[in-house]
Amino acid sequence: MKKSLIVSLCLIVLATHAQQVDQKQVWQGVEKQTELLLTAIPLAKNGNNNLVSPRSLDAKGNLVLTQAVKWISGFFPGELWYLYEYTGDPKWQQQARTFTANIEKEKYNGGTHDMGFKIYCSFGNGYRLTKDEAYKAVIIKAAQTLSTRFNPTVGCIRSWDTMPKWSYPVIIDNMLNLELLFAATKLTGDSSFYKIAVSHANTTLKNHFRKDYSCYHVLDYDSTQTGVVIKKTTHQGFADESAWARGQAWALYGFTMCYRETKNPQYLKQAEKVADYIFSHPNLPEDLIPYWDFNAPNIPNEPRDASAAACMASGLYELATFSKKGKHYRAIANKVLESLTNKYRSPMGENKGFILLHSTGSKPYNSEVDVPICYADYYYLEALLRSKQMKH
Ligand code: GLY
């Protein structure tokens, strides 16, 4: 029997017997940690109001904050919305509103594709839970701004502007920003946002994947004449031909979300194939928390990426609601969530209030390696909620 098949069968057995996490106990811990984080923020700000939300810890364990302009600025507001969603406690809504308001100006920032990460995790969740008309207006404005980055010759939204190595880079992460565009069409009736999202997803589906359904990180396109792919590369992965763990997570989550919004069966098939690639990979550890890259050179002596695992778990819970193999995907998501909960959580009262340990931001740039990171916590909370709400 092939090794990958044996690994896959073991995972199914393990996952089927996985214990459900104790949601009440976990959320009580999340509340305590977040209260701690809220007390640490003013100290870390040290009067600098451009620093808006928690990002990570530095090598000395100091809290690092982010500016609104960075791609991660929406995650902490989003976590606060999830806390409000779980507890119903108005105190969390108040905190969520405060931290969400801090990044509103990003709706005008056309210099980045990260609008969905920033505005949909914050204002998107805020609107879903409160139906506040002011939040709706922010979502629509942000979608209009993001749409200015679409190039019809390529059929994609441009990712970065300031990286001379690529002329028209499109990264797999960009799939997540499409959720904002789908939302804007539903809110306005203007189908142009939807059309851009579908074009981006179709072009990504056509070009970004290898035969085994792993994906590249960065594709460079000729945006001037032909729209064709010039090169297929990486930025945060080990090598151009490797499978960067968080990239695979973005692909799984992104195509599942695109299936939800369009019901295009090709997207569902793609999400299933990506999930199957990830969870039958011989380099995936037994606890299902991936190394930062599936092809990292020194496995098993490589850092893990809990953020990729959290995003995969969240995506899997949704995929399970659509797929004929839903039971299988849900069982795996349960196992990932159980691993994160039992082995990757910070001890209470430590790590300035972050929830998960052992994420990796960018190993090649030695940036945020094996540390807590806000987006790991965001997708972990989302996965916890989805495990309750999204039943197969
Ligand atoms: N979107 C950037 C990252 O995943 O690190």
Q: How far is residue 267's CA from residue 279's CA, in Å, rounded to a whole number?
A: 18
Query: What's the average model confidence in pLDDT over 288-292?
Result: 99
Catalytic residues, which ones? 114, 173
In a domain, 43, yes or no: no
- Lowest mean pLDDT, pick from 2-11, 220-229, 340-349: 2-11
Identify the weakest region by mean pLDDT among 162-166, 185-189, 220-224, 360-364: 162-166
Does 250 score more than 80 pLDDT? yes
Among 177, 236, 311, 379, which is best to mutate for testing ligand 1, by the most ligand atoms less than 8 A from CB? 236
- Report which of 254, 264, 261 is spatially closest to residue 209, judged by C-alpha positions: 254
Q: Does 147 fall in a domain? A: no
* CATH number of the CATH domain containing 390: 1.50.10.10
For residue range 146-203, list pLDDT tens digits in order. 999 999 999 999 999 989 999 999 999 999 999 999 999 999 999 999 999 999 999 9
Instruction: Evaluate whether residue 308 is within a structural domain.
Output: yes
17 band by pLDDT with thresholds 50, 70 and 90: very low
pTM: 0.95
Helix and strand numbers (H, E) in the chain are 14, 9
Band of pLDDT at residue 16, cut at 50, 70 and 90 = very low
pLDDT value for 224? 93
In this prediction, residue 122 carries a pLDDT of 98
Beta strand residue intervals within 145-259, DSSP E: 150-151, 156-157, 169-171, 218-221, 229-233
Distance 91 CA to ligand 1 centre (A): 30
User: Does the residue 299 lie in any domain?
Assistant: yes
Q: From 55, 73, 115, 173, give the residue whose CB has the most ligand 1 atoms within 8 Å, as the site to mutate.
A: 173
Cα-to-centroid distance, 186 and ligand 1 (Å): 27
Would you say 118 and 73 are in contact if contact means Cβ atoms under 8 Å apart?
yes
Give the count of domains, the chain.
1
Give which of 349, 355, 347, 348 is closest to 380, Cα–Cα.
355
Q: Does 31 score more than 50 pLDDT?
A: yes
What are the φ and ψ backbone dihedral angles of 347, each rounded to 5 degrees? -60, 145
Q: Tell me the residue range of the domain where 310 lies.
A: 1-33+271-392
What's the 169 CA to ligand 1 centre distance in angstroms? 14
